Structure 1
Amino acid sequence: MKITTWNVNSLNVRLPQVQNLLADDQPDVLVLQELKLDQDKFPAAALNIMGWQTVWSGQKTYNGVAIISRAAPEDVHTGLPALPDDPQRRVIAATIGGVRVINVYCVNGEALDSPKFEYKKQWFEALTEFVRDEMSRHDKLVLLGDFNIAPADADCYDPEKWREQIHCSTPERQWFQTLLDLGLTDSLRQIHPEGAHYTWFDYRGAMFQRKLGLRIDHILITPALAARLQDVRVDLDTRALERPSDHAPVTAVFDL
């Protein structure tokens, strides 16, 4: 089973790239973040014609998440129960082929002294509660998406420059560790314990060309999936396309 996550940074702009990825790489599941589309603007028909099933939670301008799969998604859920009034569309979950897939576009937080950082803290607390409950009912579970956290210095091109800055602060890294402490494994680090495997590159400053990025897109998995994990890779070729997203897709392959 092949599962891919990608922050597309506008599905309107990146739809041809999504279609090409689906056709060329043939993932069993592709989850997208930052659709930037209203609910009724999602291109379900175009994807259905290609043979893909889709569920999504759209939001204009910002946010929005989707799950695209060959098999029909079951038991679809959106949002976080602990934040019932949150208007931001950041979470969608579904069961596909016996695997519980939780797609997240985690809060950015802006800066440590921003009110948005407190929202990020509350949001991660709500996410942890939700994932804990989901894990109690699903042995095979994958939590994946854009976490907006680089978990360690190895996941940042310049640790000193980014120290205690947004994405790399001690509180954020603890929130990420709290998710791992639920019993999840960082799949990329299971396959690649060392080295830089950046998934996000700022559009400014030719950061991609200079290979200066952060690893903030992750695939976290339960022990039942960790035992079946075969490979994890970052698709830098897609990031190198014309008019790219600032994120590269990340794919995990399981023997299921």
Structure 2
Amino acid sequence: MKIATWNVNSLKARQEHLIRWLGEFNPDVVLLQELKGVAENFPMLEVNAAGYEAAVVGQKTYNGVAILSKTPIEITAERLPGEEDDEQARYVEGIVQGENGGVRVGCIYLPNGNPAPGDKYDYKLRWMRRLYAHAKELLKTEEPFVLGGDYNVIPEPEDVYAPQKWTRDALYLPESRNALRWIVNLGLTDAFRACNAEGGRYSWWDYRSGSWDRDEGCRIDHLLLSPQAADRLVDSGIDKTPRGWDKPSDHTPVWCELSS
């Protein structure tokens, strides 16, 4: 089972890219972030024609997440527990079927948090505490699950081209990195890092200043696996191909493969 995550940075602008990539890369499950549209405007017919079911949590103009799967999706959550008045569309979770049973997948669009300090950064840290609590509960089920998406956190210095330039950014502040470390240390596995020891591999490049051409990016899109999923991990990587297309998202897909 090949599972990928991709922040498309406006599905309306990147619909053709998505359909093309689904055909070329042929993932079994895709976690999409930053749809920037309501669920009613999701291109369901086109996605179905490409061979995928979809579970969508949309929002006008901002945010928005979706799970795409070649098999039916049993939706288990349409928001992250812990803050009932939080209406931002940042989480959807469901169970997808593989040859050896179901795998739970959670699609995450974690808040950016800039400028920090401030209300946006406080919200980011609260959101991460909620994710910690939810992951802790999921681990009690002892089932395979993948929590994937745009985490908006750079884990380590080797995950960004120039760490010294990011010391005041919410993506790299110690509190952000520590909050992600707490989540991982519950017993989760960073799929990419488990299969790729080298630094300098990125999933996001700024549109400005020729960052893509100079490969000045950072790794902020992650797939975190429960122990039961990690036991089935075959490989993981970053597909840079769509970032080189015309008018691309600033993110590119990150993927992992689980054995059947």
Identity of aligned residues (%): 39
In the alignment, which residue of structure 1 is the partner of 2:178? 174
In the alignment, which residue of structure 2 is the partner of 1:111? 115
**Superposition deviation, residue 101 in structure 1:** 0.1
The one-letter code matched in structure 2 to 1:207 is: S
Question: Mind listing any 5+ residue stretches in structure 2 that lack a counterpart?
Answer: none
**Superposition deviation, residue 162 in structure 1:** 1.2
Given that 1:149 and 1:168 are in contact with CA atoms closer than 8 Å, whether structure 2 keeps it comes out as yes
The one-letter code matched in structure 2 to 1:113 is: P
The one-letter code matched in structure 2 to 1:150 is: I
Given that 2:106 and 2:146 are in contact with CA atoms closer than 8 Å, whether structure 1 keeps it comes out as yes
SS in 2 for 1:166: coil
The one-letter code matched in structure 2 to 1:218 is: H
In the alignment, which residue of structure 1 is the partner of 2:42? 42
In the alignment, which residue of structure 1 is the partner of 2:92? 92
Task: Determine whether 1:101 maps to 2:105.
Answer: yes
121-130 or 1-10, which deviates more: 121-130
Task: Determine whether 1:125 maps to 2:149.
Answer: no
Task: Determine whether 1:61 maps to 2:65.
Answer: no
Cα separation, partners in 2 of 1:138 and 1:95, compared to 1, 3 Å: farther
In the alignment, which residue of structure 2 is the partner of 1:30? 30
**Superposition deviation, residue 165 in structure 1:** 2.4
Task: Determine whether 1:234 maps to 2:238.
Answer: yes
Counterparts of residues 198-237 of structure 1 (less than 5 Å): 198-237=202-241
SS in 2 for 1:182: coil
- The normalised TM-score by structure 2 is 0.96
SS in 1 for 2:4: strand
Output the CA distance in 2 between the equivalents of 1:240 and 1:76.
Answer: 35
SS in 2 for 1:206: coil
Given that 1:100 and 1:138 are in contact with CA atoms closer than 8 Å, whether structure 2 keeps it comes out as no
Task: Determine whether 1:248 maps to 2:252.
Answer: yes
Given that 1:36 and 1:58 are in contact with CA atoms closer than 8 Å, whether structure 2 keeps it comes out as yes
Output the CA distance in 2 between the equivalents of 1:158 and 1:90.
Answer: 28
- The normalised TM-score by structure 1 is 0.97
In the alignment, which residue of structure 2 is the partner of 1:8? 8
The one-letter code matched in structure 1 to 2:122 is: E
**Superposition deviation, residue 138 in structure 1:** 4.7
SS in 2 for 1:205: coil
Output the CA distance in 2 between the equivalents of 1:165 and 1:12.
Answer: 29
Runs of 4+ in 1 over 6 A off after TM superposition: none
The one-letter code matched in structure 1 to 2:144 is: K
